[in-house]
Amino acid sequence: MDPYDDDDDSVQQAAAAHYATRRRNTNTLMLAAIANIEEYNMRYVDRIPCRTSALTGWAWLMELLSNKTRCHENLRMSRELFLALCGELVNKYGLLVTDKGDCIGAIDGTHVEARLSPEKAVPYFDKYYLVDAGYPNRKGFLAPYKGERYHQVEFQRGEPPRSANEQFNKVHSSLRSVIERSFGVWKNRWAILRSMPQFSMSTQTAIVGGSMAIHNFIRRNSDRDPYFDRIEDMEEFYLSETINDSSGSSSSGSSSCASFMPDDDGSMSDQRDYIRQKVVRQAARQSGR
């Protein structure tokens, strides 16, 4: 009897098992690859139409409201909130319920710059943008005081404002943060605001006003909303620019662009000083001094 026969059998069995395992793994990978190719083909090459309901008008709306996911995709709000909005429009603002009950549709799809011809671009007098210290303080641009603390995190981690300029800068930064939050949630909810198509100016104005009205309605009437929750669940929210010193300037692109802009404007600086005094007086009243 050959003393090595048993060992030869065990080696052959191990090799066969290893080969079978490799073959199974290869087959699994091939099946996964085929499935991925098929999914890619169906999604991007031979697209299968979806959301192709044969219903229209009131019947389509009822079908939409019966599906929680589709309701939020099309209306950007829950069924309950949409019905509450319809009730408020009818009861408080005189919206007429048509005989057919047709629903026009929902604002969806394509972002908001306003697109209009130069001759129609009427300037907004006595209005201004809040900008960081990389911009000059000129007509239409209200910048913070340079050389002073500016960002909210600097006041949260350090002392309260030590001067009138810092008091103004703190309020300026806080307001910019609120605006950035609000516009961020608003644009995330309505994709059309991120790239406005070539509609007439009246249509663009209606889209902006209508979407903001619905945005505010949801804010006031919804306990939980995914777009607001995404911001509120963040422990802290700061302006998008990078803090690199205490002068209120940033390392964002605005500073490089602003290097080609003229110096501060005296009239806008006077207006900033006037606003600063109002901020200081209001802070004094709130503190009881």
Q: How far apart (Å, rounded) are the C-alpha atoms in residues 119 and 148?
A: 40
3-state secondary structure of 113: coil
DSSP characters over 127-180: --EE--TTS---TTEEPPPTTS--SHHHHHHSPSP-SHHHHHHHHHHHHHHHHH
pLDDT at position 266, please?
75
Cα–Cα distances (Å) from 265 to 32, 129, 254, 277, 279, in that order, read 65, 14, 18, 19, 21
> Contact 112/238 with Cβ under 8 angstroms?
no
pLDDT at position 104, please?
31
Beta pairing class for 141-142 and 129-130: parallel
Q: What is the pTM of this model?
A: 0.50
pLDDT average per 10 residues of sequence, the chain (289 residues): 58 80 87 84 67 72 80 81 82 62 30 53 62 79 85 82 89 83 82 84 88 85 74 55 44 44 71 88 77
DSSP letter at 193?
G
pLDDT at position 45, please?
66
> Contact 248/150 with Cβ under 8 angstroms?
yes
pLDDT at position 268, please?
82
pLDDT at position 100, please?
36
Residue 180 CB neighbours (<10 A)? 16
pLDDT at position 112, please?
47
Spatial neighbors of 82 by CB under 8 A, at least 6 apart, are 65, 71, 75
pLDDT at position 119, please?
56
> Which phi and psi (to 5°) does residue 27 adopt?
-65, -40
